[in-house]
Amino acid sequence: MRKDIISNEMKPKKEMVRIVKNQAGEISIDPTGKKSGRGAYVSLEPAAIKKAKDKHLLDAAFGLKIADDFYDELYAYVDHQKARQELFGNQSK
């Protein structure tokens, strides 16, 4: 179980995606969940990503200004993964 930084709900790891900040201060999506660095989890809910972008919730979690482009990339990734889950179930990731 992991805590969603947007909704503060505990959810299974397979229903979430990890975002990581590496030592160089770069933010990226971590589909494997194994990249080194400070990680935070968000649920696979496109509406939650829009909320995070509007309120810049990831900025606070990582202590730096995150570009809107990253939020757009994250939204596209989450939307795609959500569609995969609906088609194939939780086995794919």
* pLDDT recorded at residue 91: 59
The pTM of the full predicted model, rounded to 2 decimals, is 0.88
- 24-55 pLDDT, tens digit each: 999 999 999 999 999 999 999 999 999 999 99
* pLDDT recorded at residue 92: 47
Task: Give the separation between CA 24 and CA 61, rounded to whole angstroms.
Answer: 16
Say which CATH class 2-88 falls into: alpha beta
Kindly state the average pLDDT of the residues 65-87.
94
pLDDT at 12 over 60: yes
* pLDDT recorded at residue 90: 64
Sort residue 89 into left (φ over 0), alpha (ψ -120 to 50) or beta.
Answer: left
